Structure 1
Amino acid sequence: MPGTLDFAYETQPARVVFRPGAAVSATPGEAARLGLRRLLVVCGSRGQDTARMVADALGDVCVGLHAEARMHVPVEIVERAVEVARAAGADGCVAVGGGSAIGLGKGIALRTGLPLIAVPSTYAGSEMTPVWGLTENGAKRTGRDPSVQPRSVVYDPELTLSLPVDLSVTSGVNALAHAVEALYAPDGSPLVSLMAEEGVRAMTGALPGIAVAPDDLDARSRALYAAWLCGACLGSTTMGLHHKLCHVLGGTFGLPHAETHTVVLPYALAYNAPEVPLALTALNRALDTDDAPRALRDLARRLGAPGSLAELGLTEADLEVAAAQVTGQPYPNPRKVTVDGVRDVLRAAYEGRTPEGGVSRSETPTSARRPARS
């Protein structure tokens, strides 16, 4: 680790229980530990069976099951859930499912201050962050607030056994995006870099096994462990160009969350690559490659994930609108975010072509090379 150490690292106040069967065996105990006696369970429509299982385990402590979570967390859905929570006299929430369910739980916590328990069933990683996101009037906005950080996270790899392979792959790559951006975040640290590299290594090692044998509990456990690490990275650092692109593409154009992350990640990484040599070194090491952007794209395609934004429903006319929105309020990023540069990233992702070295056709990278913290 070259150079003098100079960083800040703040741990997030959360308790984690990780074991097969924990959704039923551990969630009631976690509620009791927090002193919660009137819990509203929230989930999406596809996760009702799992959520009902958790609700039944809670018994009389559960005051209702609200199954209206939706992708990108529309404000009106949060407002309705807040009304339900207040009408039930809830003193806390249990979010069961993927990023949409946990996002709804966070929305309730943001509006009411109610403590949140998360029981993830995908690899989204949102459960390990104080980051919230809401979509209103065709725009997604995000923020950080300690009140939305789940007080307890119950990881049960058995819940992910029923996650279809295609969703497992895109959810897993979505988690990878958190680790990738953490490696070159302006507020990174050696601890985050260690978690990020291990998260990438564990996830990319687990996903091929899941694709071959979806019921392999060991592979599922390793992927969930990786999602925990990647989510913790996101919770500790600032998001960059990749996440801004995905927030715009999802919030404004309605593209599916995990699939969009999967398509965009190699191209956003290639764009930033010239400015983050140490991050590239860590990723190449974790992926056992000398071309991390291409390796990420090839892995996703090999496992059957979508390969272009066109496949997800974006139109060519949308590219200019998206580029303007991304650059209008850019997130901090190691390489300057310009309309031309973003347009090139979007065009490459729209066409699904091979990501190339991070140099856009219309912009030469600056001579300064700002290494990622490691």
Structure 2
Amino acid sequence: MEAFVYNSNPARVMFGSGSSKQLPDELKRINKSKPLLLSTPQQISQAEDVGKILNGQFAGLFSDATMHTPTDVTERACAYANSTGADSVVSIGGGSTIGLGKAISTRTGLYHITLPTTYAGSEVTPILGETAEGRKETRSDTSILPGTVIYDVDLTLTLPVSLTATSGVNAIAHAVEALYAQNGNPIINLLAQEGVRALAASLAQLIKDPHSKEARTSAQYGAWLCGTCLGNVGMSLHHKLCHTLGGSFNLPHAETHTIVLPHALAYNAPKIPDALKKLADVLPDSNGDAVHGLNVLLGKLNVKRGLKELGMKEEDIDKAADIAVSKPYWNPRKVERDAVRELIRRAWAGEDAKADL
């Protein structure tokens, strides 16, 4: 076995049906009593339900969390937190709300408790992507990591089928890139494989039976593991492309990850044979071919396969390619503009991924 370095991010995780009811006790444990609740406009009712668990004992509710964490929204949220005298933040939602909670916490020092309602996985990472003036920048710092994560499967039972699928594939993407990360290690590889196995199986089941509590619990478990991978090793082409596409063209986060993932894997395929085997071993119907396995899984999930379906224009393909190669970053295969452009074109068109770039 080759030498490696393994870092584990400190995090307190509470997992299980009904665990959100432990929020008042968790606040007492950290000696906080005036949390600011965060949500998107679409999830106000879930945030209000959390407020009921707290018997109305919270500083306020900020419900303008927005995709890609725009800095102007964060500034308004920080000002509101200050005006209410909040001593902590509680985010209820997916990546948009969790991202806002991270942005507030790292700027103010307020303790962050998060209750994920999707499978984004960002709740267990010290990574924050923020958008300003049409560009999304990502940074990593221990102050960004939420202090407590409460995984209550009951909060995911009403997650729409379409978002269930794309949110889950978004989580799978974290594990896929972890399998060939420059600073990967055997521990993360185990977490990545188990996370993909749990999510791939449960997502296929949830398309048929979206109310299956057992399948949703398994998906939440898989998302936790995949998110942990994202938080412990570096990402490469796939995540860089998705940040480019999302931040610059305002494309939805999870759907973009879902479309790009098999194409980014196919691009890197010639340089990552070991990772491809590990992934193929845990993807149903892969027949030993990880790229094929992802294509099959996405077909089962009935998700959108083309960026044009998300509103991206064909004339934006060249701009996206230019942005994607404008800053150097590590990737197992050299990042070449023409090949990346073709990758983006295929993703735009909704073609099946092929390892022939």
TM-score category, normalised to shorter length: over 0.9
Which secondary structure state, in structure 1, belongs to the residue aligned with residue 76 of structure 2? helix
Rounded Cα–Cα distance in structure 2 between residues aligned with 1:170 and 1:283 = 19
Task: Give the corresponding residue for 1:298.
Answer: 296
Which secondary structure state, in structure 1, belongs to the residue aligned with residue 37 of structure 2? strand
Tell me, yes or no, if structure 1 residue 33 matches structure 2 residue 29. Answer: yes
Rounded Cα–Cα distance in structure 2 between residues aligned with 1:174 and 1:269 = 14
Q: Identify the match of residue 224 of structure 2 among 228, 239, 250.
A: 228
Contact 2:127 2:138 in 1 (8 A): yes
TM-score using structure 2 length: 0.97
Q: Identify the match of residue 313 of structure 1 among 290, 306, 311.
A: 311
Deviation at 1:291, TM superposition (A): 1.8
Tell me, yes or no, if structure 1 residue 327 matches structure 2 residue 351. Answer: no
Deviation at 1:60, TM superposition (A): 5.1
Task: Give the corresponding residue for 2:234.
Answer: 238
Tell me, yes or no, if structure 1 residue 18 matches structure 2 residue 12. Answer: no
- Deviation larger for 153-162 or 329-338: 329-338
Task: Give the corresponding residue for 2:85.
Answer: 89
Deviation at 1:296, TM superposition (A): 1.2
Deviation at 1:59, TM superposition (A): 2.9
Rounded Cα–Cα distance in structure 1 between residues aligned with 2:139 and 2:88 = 21
Deviation string 1:335-363 (CA, Å, 9 cap, x unpaired) is 11111121011011111222112x31xxx
Tell me, yes or no, if structure 1 residue 213 matches structure 2 residue 206. Answer: no
Q: Identify the match of residue 159 of structure 1 among 131, 155, 174.
A: 155
Contact 1:241 1:330 in 2 (8 A): no
Deviation string 1:138-189 (CA, Å, 9 cap, x unpaired) is 0000100111111110001111110000000000000000000000011111
Rounded Cα–Cα distance in structure 2 between residues aligned with 1:311 and 1:173 = 17
**What pairs up with 1:1-374 in 2 under 5 angstroms?**
4-23=1-20, 25-59=21-55, 61-288=57-284, 289=286, 290-357=288-355, 359-360=356-357
Kindly provide the amino acid, as one letter, of the partner of residue 217 in structure 2: S
Which secondary structure state, in structure 2, belongs to the residue aligned with residue 59 of structure 1? coil
Which secondary structure state, in structure 1, belongs to the residue aligned with residue 325 of structure 2? helix
Which secondary structure state, in structure 1, belongs to the residue aligned with residue 139 of structure 2? strand
Rounded Cα–Cα distance in structure 2 between residues aligned with 1:89 and 1:342 = 48
Deviation string 1:215-248 (CA, Å, 9 cap, x unpaired) is 1000000000000000000000111100011001
Deviation at 1:302, TM superposition (A): 2.2
Structure 2 gaps of 5+ residues are none
Contact 2:251 2:311 in 1 (8 A): yes
Deviation at 1:22, TM superposition (A): 1.4
Kindly provide the amino acid, as one letter, of the partner of residue 311 in structure 1: E
Rounded Cα–Cα distance in structure 2 between residues aligned with 1:352 and 1:292 = 18
Deviation string 1:185-217 (CA, Å, 9 cap, x unpaired) is 111110000000000000000001111111100
Deviation at 1:62, TM superposition (A): 1.0
Kindly provide the amino acid, as one letter, of the partner of residue 196 in structure 1: A
Deviation at 1:107, TM superposition (A): 0.8
Task: Give the corresponding residue for 1:364.
Answer: none
Kindly provide the amino acid, as one letter, of the partner of residue 168 in structure 1: T
Contact 1:239 1:331 in 2 (8 A): no
Deviation string 1:301-334 (CA, Å, 9 cap, x unpaired) is 3221001111111111101000000100143211
TM-score using structure 1 length: 0.93
Q: 1:60 to 1:354 in 2, by over 3 A?
A: closer
Deviation at 1:38, TM superposition (A): 1.5
Deviation at 1:5, TM superposition (A): 3.0
Kindly provide the amino acid, as one letter, of the partner of residue 246 in structure 1: C
Contact 2:277 2:289 in 1 (8 A): no
Backbone CA RMSD of aligned residues: 1.0
Rounded Cα–Cα distance in structure 1 between residues aligned with 2:8 and 2:90 = 22
Deviation string 1:35-69 (CA, Å, 9 cap, x unpaired) is 21211011101111111111221235411111110
Rounded Cα–Cα distance in structure 1 between residues aligned with 2:236 and 2:28 = 38
Kindly provide the amino acid, as one letter, of the partner of residue 317 in structure 1: E
Which secondary structure state, in structure 2, belongs to the residue aligned with residue 68 of structure 1? coil
Contact 1:115 1:147 in 2 (8 A): no
Rounded Cα–Cα distance in structure 2 between residues aligned with 1:20 and 1:46 = 23
Deviation string 1:231-274 (CA, Å, 9 cap, x unpaired) is 00000011110001100110000111100000000000000111
Q: How many residues align?
A: 355
Rounded Cα–Cα distance in structure 1 between residues aligned with 2:191 and 2:228 = 8
